[in-house]
Amino acid sequence: MQLTTKWLERSLEGRTMRGYLARPHAAGDRLLPTVLVIQEIWGVDEHIQDMADRFATAGYQALAPDLYSWGETPAALSQDRIQAVKKFLDTMPPQGWGDAAVREEHLSRLPAEEGNRIRETLGALFGQRDTDGMVRQLVGWVDWAASQGSPVVSVGYCMGGMLSFLLVTQDRRVRAAVCNYGRAPSEAQMAAIDAPVYGFYGGTDHGITDAVPSVAEAMQKLGKTFHYKIYPEAGHAFFNDTRVSYNVDAARDAWAETLHFFTEALA
């Protein structure tokens, strides 16, 4: 399918933010539902742009906000630096990605200058994040879609999965949220949710997945709609076909479930 793609810019709180937009070319200017495609920690890279394109191919207007672009993208979070980090992490097992000691052991094997650049970018990626600011950006993009009269749903991956879940605690205009292997908001935050949420998780991703039954219990207690699916053989980031973590069976099923979920929510 031929797509129309471009980068958009908007101003929020006096600072510029960017987003990657994809639409089916044959739809012309027709009003379409908007899917907010929320990035992993790697930014709006080739994988996230590809996911936006896939949603556009399915008949949506897909917008992937670049959450690192607000104001000015830090040098440590430029795409070439992030790509170098991804290549570095692929030299170790996925279980070590979030383990600072394991990462440091592998970093010590690199030339000093290269290791320092990767160490700086790792700190920017895995360090403290301005989550509130990221949610404000997402709400700003919901404003943009709403100004067109476009209904909005959200889907996110890893950090973006967490943000997709968190967004529906802050903005009731979002009609449904999909959380792919992301952490859930607090129970107090869940009380504000007015939309159905669907979570997809890898069975070997214990740091996140082990908490899912208690998330489901809390959502049920609050009278909220939460569906979830755990793929026993899959790990973290099973949707990302540019990484060694990709699991084709889990990704295929989660993709079909996501499209059905959005169709039902937007009916």
Which residue in 157, 244, 166 sits closest to 201, CA to CA?
A: 157
What is the pairing mode between strands 152-157 and 174-180?
A: parallel
Beta bridge partners of 156: 38, 179
Residue 174 CB contacts under 8 Å (≥ 6 apart), including other chains: 36, 142, 152, 153, 154, 167, 168, 195
Active site residue 236: yes
Among residues 53, 66, 171, 205, the one annotated as catalytic is 205
- Annotated catalytic, 227? no
Q: Which residue has the tokens 């793929």?
A: 231
Angstrom distance (rounded) from CA 198 to CA 258? 8
Residue 51, judged by CB atoms within 10 A of its CB (0-12, 13-18, 19+), counts as buried
Residue 115: C-alpha distances to residues 34, 120, 126, 128 (Å): 40, 9, 16, 21
Please calculate the CA angle 75-245-78 and round it to the nearest 5 degrees: 10
> Whose CA is closest to 196, among 128, 264, 132, 257?
264
> Which position among 53, 158, 171, 179 bears the catalytic label?
158
Does the annotation count 99 as an active-site position?
A: no
* Tokens matching residue 115: 């290791």
Catalytic residues: 158, 205, 236
